[in-house]
Chain A
Amino acid sequence: MAASSAGMCTVVCNLNRQFAVHFPRTITQNICNNICSRSLWTSVPRYHSQPQIKKKSAVRELVGVVGLEIHAQINSSTKLFSGSQVGFSAPPNSQVSFFDASLPGTLPVLNRRCVEAAVMTGLALDCTINRKSLFDRKHYFYADLPAGYQITQQRVPIAEGGTLQYSHLIGHKQGQVVTKSVRIKQIQLEQDSGKSLHDENRSQTFIDLNRAGVGLMELVMEPDMQCGEEAAAAVRELQLILQTLGTCQGNMAEGQLRVDANVSVHRPGEPLGVRTEVKNINSARFLARAIDYEIERQMEVVGSGGTVLNETRAFDFKSGQTIPMRDKEGLQDYRFMPEPNLPPWWCTTVVLIDAVRERIPELPRATRARLVHAFGLRPEHSFTLVNEDGLTEYFESLANMTRAEPKKAIGWVIKDVLGLLNQQGRNVSQSPVSPRALAQLLDLLEDGRVSSSAAKTVFQELWKGSGRSPAQIVEEQDLGLVDDSTEIQRICQSVIDSHPEEVRAIRAGNRKVLNKLMGLVQKQTKGRADPVKVRAMLEEGTS
């Protein structure tokens, strides 16, 4: 099933779509000039505004429509409306204030940090920050919702009308970058609920209120996506943005970022189909799988003349399927009401918004563009750097310290440093080889003082963390290039003399055999001879 849904993704994605496919050079210019015109709006209105779909045969074909609702736990030391600490893996019910437990007579007090986080996130996503925002109560009975209502923002959220641009890599060796955008309908602040643990055997429920009242940003994305891979790419980009801003830690597995997908299918040009809501997704990879499964399922339902039910479905990662959830909420009337204990919250453009805007760091998209522009990196390399926390900084300090070309340095960073880090399950800050040491090594290479194969040996030595500099290692282990031309000449001559067959072949015009001889020479010099010199000498000796 997994395989077929992965296949489905491609099919779905390519239907009737004009991809903004940029080959590396194009994207370089595109991003550098900050031109967004090529990015693709895959919004629903697009179908209405472009009724003449090019491929006639495809007009009647179904496509998926995907919108996301994302709950991002605000990275704040205290809760949204109380002074309780926010922390994970604390003993149950140890981080619960009187307000969190909804003791009668307690009142909410808005946490400034949470507001600032939402404002910052809104600004980073090009949203309009509402000057005045309001809180509402959303009522429903559930054991882990102690007040019987959740304080949220139904009428006037903190931010509205933004855009998330995201890119993903496709094609041979992931060398093509596709940039798209999804509209952000709104960002609202709301309280998290507690957690219920059901003991089916004893038919008991245990309630842990540690999470109750933690601040959430709910980001609602318009149904501008068409398949799981797009949704996953959008979520990954959002994750990076939130982490860069520091407004959410963004770990999906720990529930800091929770994604629900609204999925429907329709024929382009026709109204949207009935949607289902897919929940219980705890990674970007599963998000893609869940959505693609659901699109395929709905296509089968519609294709066989059935109707899709408006329901909530859970993703079962073991089977890769979505299954209807027992309808605990049903079609509820939440009886929204203004929260009377919180006065309207006024956001002054002068003080708060501008102050927050100034604190917004460089966002991932800009970082990637800068890496491509300033260092001439390939876009996929810029993605790799930005995706790994601290790797961009590592690369930048390396590039600034070494005389080697950034294009050479990036190979070392990605293949050697990141490769080993991943292998050993470490993060960038734990790298035993500092950018400075690597820069010294690359300089030795650049200056022709070590060969590239010797450089790898030095790198291995550095990784062991002995504290010695690359130059010291080269000297101690005698890894420097053999400078003595007479010595190299002698070795070359002995190789030529002992391989008459090969020499004959070369003289007959088979130049490839020369490489074999080169290998033999390097073997004798332990890779320390300058290959250019060796090649020249061998050519001379075999001509």
Chain B
Amino acid sequence: MIADMLRLTIREVSRAFRQGRISPSELCQKCLDRIKKTKHLNAYITVTEELAARQAAAADERFRRGAPKGPLDGIPFAVKDNFCTENIETTCASNMLKGYRPPFSATVVQKLLDQGAVLLGKTNLDEFAMGSGSTDGAFGPVRNPWSYAAPYRDGSGAEPDSDWVITGGSSGGSAAAVASLSSFLALGSDTGGSTRNPAALCGLVSLKPTYGLLSRHGLIPLVNSMDVPGVMARSAQDVATALGVLQGRDVLDSTTVCPPVEHSDLLEDIDVSRLHVGIPKEYHAPGLSRETLAQWGRVADMLERAGARVETMSLPHTQYSIVCYHVLCCAEVASNMARFDGLQYGHRSAVDSSTDALYAATRLEGFNEVVRGRILSGNYFLLKRSYLRYFVKAQQVRRLIARDFAQVFRSGVHLLLTPTTLGHAPTHAHFIQEDNRTRSSQEDVFTQSVNMAGLPAVTVPTALSGRGLPIGLQLIGAALQDRRLLAVAGWLEREVAFPGIQLPWDTEEEDGERAERGQTAL
């Protein structure tokens, strides 16, 4: 019974709270137990057990009084460890920030806390969100829960510890937390695909909102002009519920915009027959797996059968997106990382022969090779002599990429349907054969251009591959069409009937409960 609770949607849990069938504290404890059982996934860097218990108890009290705060009251959630959380360690999976406790919470975190949601902990990532595997952080790689689920295990002859697959990244910890049922909701950050990629590989729904719809205040930046907080959950409706709480202008982030007015958190029933769906032909990229291609075709057919107009489109500049992203990302990284000098917070080297020596040693010890590599290239791109050739050029191409999208949406297309990733999750052993940069440019190929253009996109799991691993597809919309995307995602969810995850620990728990019930009966 309680194990099943972890599978419910947020709305169902909220109803169960109101009906008194379960209390926030009980559910919170269940999640904390699940976190312990799934510790080997390495999804969490910090588990805020005591705080969670206190918050859940406060939610208990509100439900007892019949005065819950809203649709997220008592709902357990997890936060990627690059969002500041007041007085809770925020590391960015970097030695540079180990032990750093920010004095304030990110706006999006604070909004969830203000709604009574229960913070379980901070999730693992690639150092400073630089990566696409969640394999390059100071706390080690994150394991994909589907590595332990029956469909994958049945087809694998090897031991789970030798052939586990990665979660994707960089928000892999958040994805693993939600996929392994230890959290109902997680915040990630998406700069080039960092929530959509792991969500697709872990069988989740994830929204990369329109740039500016959610505040970035308190999100430790990767690329300010592309970063957005992303929402990860197991259903489109769950994501929509969180979006309703999270979106909105923030005086502390000058790039935020006013959201379109919505009267309900409930997703509308969308009339698919009136949709005009574009299939960008450039997304037939080299390396696209046969199975993902098949899913792409299947869903396109599904939409067409439902009456939607499905047409091939062209986004001619998308192919330049990755190289252009590389330049802009490194440039901003070089700039954003300049503040980590060991003087005020974070790691400080013992080398103190001079201030310059202190800076150099601190940054060498604090940052991994990926971060240092990007800082180095970024500084090169920003040099006076390189600026026009690299940075300005990349910005110009970025404008062309955005214009491609704008033209497509102006022509009457409501949304674009694309793959989210090239294929299902690779094994860790395979993934680490190439370096971070190579992998990032391979993995971000379908997701990245959306960040260039600041558009909303949502990934929806559609099926398990032959190897028993999730495959996701991406829907891209025009700016501020986030809700419509989620509505279509909700329709798609119902049509494809993606299977829920079955983990070995579920059966253990269920057995235990059955035994308990049996004893009671006796």
Which residues of chain A from 137 to 161 have a CB within 8 Å of any chain B CB?
Answer: 137, 139, 141, 143, 146-149
Cβ-neighbour of A105 out of B106, B255, B379 (below 8 A): B106
Structural contact, A104 and B355, CB atoms closer than 8 A: no
> Number of B residues contacting the other chain (C-beta, 8 Å)?
43
Q: Does B387 make an interface contact (CB < 8 A)?
A: yes
Q: Beta-carbon contacts of B210-222 to A below 8 Å, as 1s and 0s?
A: 0000001111110
Complex alpha-carbon distance, A148 and B225, angstroms: 19
Complex alpha-carbon distance, A335 and B375, angstroms: 12
Which residues of chain B from 310 to 363 have a CB within 8 Å of any chain A CB?
Answer: 331-332, 334-335, 337-341, 343-345, 355-356, 359
Structural contact, B331 and A337, CB atoms closer than 8 A: yes
Name which residue of chain B comes closest to A345, CB basis. B254
Q: Does B253 make an interface contact (CB < 8 A)?
A: yes
What is the minimal beta-carbon distance from A307 to any residue of chain B, in angstroms? 24
Cβ-neighbour of B254 out of A104, A108, A335 (below 8 A): A108
Residues of B within 8 A of A101 (CB): 344
Structural contact, A207 and B382, CB atoms closer than 8 A: no
Structural contact, A337 and B382, CB atoms closer than 8 A: yes
Cβ-neighbour of A107 out of B97, B252, B379, B382 (below 8 A): B252
User: Which one of A98, A104, A137, A205 has the highest number of Cβ atoms from chain B below 10 Å of its Cβ?
Assistant: A104
Name which residue of chain A comes closest to B225, CB basis. A340
User: Would A147 and B339 be within 8 Å (CB), given that A103-B102, A107-B216, A107-B217 are in contact?
Assistant: yes
Cβ-neighbour of A104 out of B84, B255, B379 (below 8 A): B84
Which residues of chain A from 393 to 422 have a CB within 8 Å of any chain B CB?
Answer: none
Structural contact, A109 and B251, CB atoms closer than 8 A: yes
Q: Does B383 make an interface contact (CB < 8 A)?
A: yes
Q: Does B263 make an interface contact (CB < 8 A)?
A: no
Q: Does A343 make an interface contact (CB < 8 A)?
A: yes
Residues of A within 8 A of B343 (CB): 143, 146, 207
Residues of A within 8 A of B254 (CB): 107-110, 341-343
Q: Beta-carbon contacts of A325-352 to B below 8 Å, as 1s and 0s?
A: 0000000010111001111000000000
Complex alpha-carbon distance, A354 and B283, angstroms: 51
Structural contact, A148 and B341, CB atoms closer than 8 A: yes
Q: Does B500 make an interface contact (CB < 8 A)?
A: no
Q: Does B103 make an interface contact (CB < 8 A)?
A: yes
Q: Does A52 make an interface contact (CB < 8 A)?
A: no
Structural contact, B387 and A336, CB atoms closer than 8 A: yes
Name which residue of chain A comes closest to B358, CB basis. A143
Name which residue of chain B comes closest to A341, CB basis. B224
What is the minimal beta-carbon distance from A256 to any residue of chain B, in angstroms? 26
Residues of A within 8 A of B383 (CB): 333, 335
Complex alpha-carbon distance, A336 and B391, angstroms: 10
Name which residue of chain A comes closest to B346, CB basis. A104
What is the minimal beta-carbon distance from B398 to any residue of chain A, in angstroms? 12
Complex alpha-carbon distance, A343 and B359, angstroms: 31
Residues of B within 8 A of A107 (CB): 216-217, 252-254
Complex alpha-carbon distance, A102 and B344, angstroms: 9
Name which residue of chain B comes closest to A140, CB basis. B338
Q: Does A106 make an interface contact (CB < 8 A)?
A: yes
Complex alpha-carbon distance, A109 and B217, angstroms: 11
Residues of A within 8 A of B92 (CB): 104
Structural contact, A147 and B331, CB atoms closer than 8 A: no
Q: Does B65 make an interface contact (CB < 8 A)?
A: no
User: Would A146 and B255 be within 8 Å (CB), given that A98-B103, A105-B217 are in contact?
Assistant: no
Structural contact, A106 and B338, CB atoms closer than 8 A: no
Structural contact, B331 and A105, CB atoms closer than 8 A: no
Which residues of chain B from 375 to 391 have a CB within 8 Å of any chain A CB?
Answer: 379, 382-384, 387, 391
What is the minimal beta-carbon distance from B138 to any residue of chain A, in angstroms? 16
What is the minimal beta-carbon distance from A344 to any residue of chain B, in angstroms? 11
Structural contact, B382 and A335, CB atoms closer than 8 A: yes
Structural contact, A205 and B84, CB atoms closer than 8 A: no
Residues of B within 8 A of A110 (CB): 254
Interface residues on A, range: 20 to 34
What is the minimal beta-carbon distance from B475 to any residue of chain A, in angstroms? 27
Per DSSP, chain A at the interface is loop
Cβ-neighbour of A205 out of B217, B337, B355, B382 (below 8 A): B355
Q: Beta-carbon contacts of B70-111 to A below 8 Å, as 1s and 0s?
A: 000000000000011000000010000100001110100000
User: Would A109 and B252 be within 8 Å (CB), given that A103-B102, A333-B384, A337-B391 are in contact?
Assistant: yes
User: Which one of B103, B253, B331, B344 has the highest number of Cβ atoms from chain A below 10 Å of its Cβ?
Assistant: B344
Cβ-neighbour of A337 out of B217, B335, B345, B359 (below 8 A): B335
Per DSSP, chain B at the interface is loop
When A and B form their complex, what is the total count of cross-chain residue pairs whose Cβ atoms lie within 8 Å? 94
Complex alpha-carbon distance, A341 and B212, angstroms: 11
Residues of A within 8 A of B221 (CB): 104-105
Name which residue of chain A comes closest to B219, CB basis. A105
Complex alpha-carbon distance, A101 and B332, angstroms: 19
What is the minimal beta-carbon distance from A206 to any residue of chain B, in angstroms? 11
Structural contact, A103 and B345, CB atoms closer than 8 A: yes
Residues of A within 8 A of B331 (CB): 337
Structural contact, B220 and A148, CB atoms closer than 8 A: no
What is the minimal beta-carbon distance from A28 to any residue of chain B, in angstroms? 51
Residues of A within 8 A of B252 (CB): 106-107, 109
User: Would A148 and B253 be within 8 Å (CB), given that A335-B383, A337-B382 are in contact?
Assistant: no
Residues of B within 8 A of A337 (CB): 331-332, 335, 382, 391
Name which residue of chain B comes closest to A109, CB basis. B254
Residues of B within 8 A of A139 (CB): 334-335, 338, 382
Cβ-neighbour of B339 out of A108, A148, A333 (below 8 A): A148
User: Would A341 and B104 be within 8 Å (CB), given that A335-B379, A336-B387 are in contact?
Assistant: no
Complex alpha-carbon distance, A340 and B344, angstroms: 24
Which residues of chain A from 77 to 109 have a CB within 8 Å of any chain B CB?
Answer: 98, 101-109
Complex alpha-carbon distance, A341 and B254, angstroms: 7
Residues of A within 8 A of B218 (CB): 105-106
Name which residue of chain A comes closest to B385, CB basis. A333
Structural contact, B344 and A146, CB atoms closer than 8 A: yes
Complex alpha-carbon distance, A205 and B354, angstroms: 11
Structural contact, A148 and B338, CB atoms closer than 8 A: yes
Complex alpha-carbon distance, A117 and B478, angstroms: 39
Structural contact, B382 and A146, CB atoms closer than 8 A: no
Complex alpha-carbon distance, A139 and B332, angstroms: 12
Complex alpha-carbon distance, A143 and B356, angstroms: 10
Complex alpha-carbon distance, A102 and B332, angstroms: 16
What is the minimal beta-carbon distance from A341 to any residue of chain B, in angstroms? 5
Which residues of chain A from 194 to 209 have a CB within 8 Å of any chain B CB?
Answer: 205, 207
What is the minimal beta-carbon distance from A146 to any residue of chain B, in angstroms? 6
Residues of B within 8 A of A104 (CB): 84, 92, 97, 102, 220-221, 339-340
Q: Beta-carbon contacts of B102-132 to A below 8 Å, as 1s and 0s?
A: 1110100000000000000000000000000
Name which residue of chain B comes closest to A205, CB basis. B355
Residues of A within 8 A of B340 (CB): 104
Residues of A within 8 A of B84 (CB): 103-105
Name which residue of chain A comes closest to B100, CB basis. A104
Residues of A within 8 A of B83 (CB): 105
Structural contact, A146 and B339, CB atoms closer than 8 A: yes
User: Would A143 and B106 be within 8 Å (CB), given that A105-B220, A110-B254 are in contact?
Assistant: no
Cβ-neighbour of B355 out of A106, A143, A149 (below 8 A): A143
What is the minimal beta-carbon distance from A108 to any residue of chain B, in angstroms? 7
Other than A105-B106, A139-B382, A343-B255, give 10 A-B pairs with Cβ distance below 8 A. Answer: A98-B104, A105-B218, A110-B254, A139-B334, A143-B355, A147-B338, A148-B335, A333-B383, A336-B382, A340-B332
**Interface, chain A (partner B; CB < 8 A):** 98, 101-110, 137, 139, 141, 143, 146-149, 205, 207, 333, 335-337, 340-343
Contacts A/B (CB < 8 Å), 29 sampled: A101-B344, A102-B344, A103-B84, A103-B104, A103-B345, A104-B97, A104-B102, A104-B220, A104-B339, A105-B219, A108-B254, A109-B254, A139-B382, A141-B338, A141-B341, A141-B356, A141-B359, A147-B339, A148-B339, A333-B383, A335-B334, A335-B379, A336-B382, A337-B331, A337-B332, A340-B225, A340-B332, A342-B254, A343-B254
**Interface, chain B (partner A; CB < 8 A):** 83-84, 92, 97, 102-104, 106, 216-221, 223-225, 251-255, 331-332, 334-335, 337-341, 343-345, 355-356, 359, 379, 382-384, 387, 391
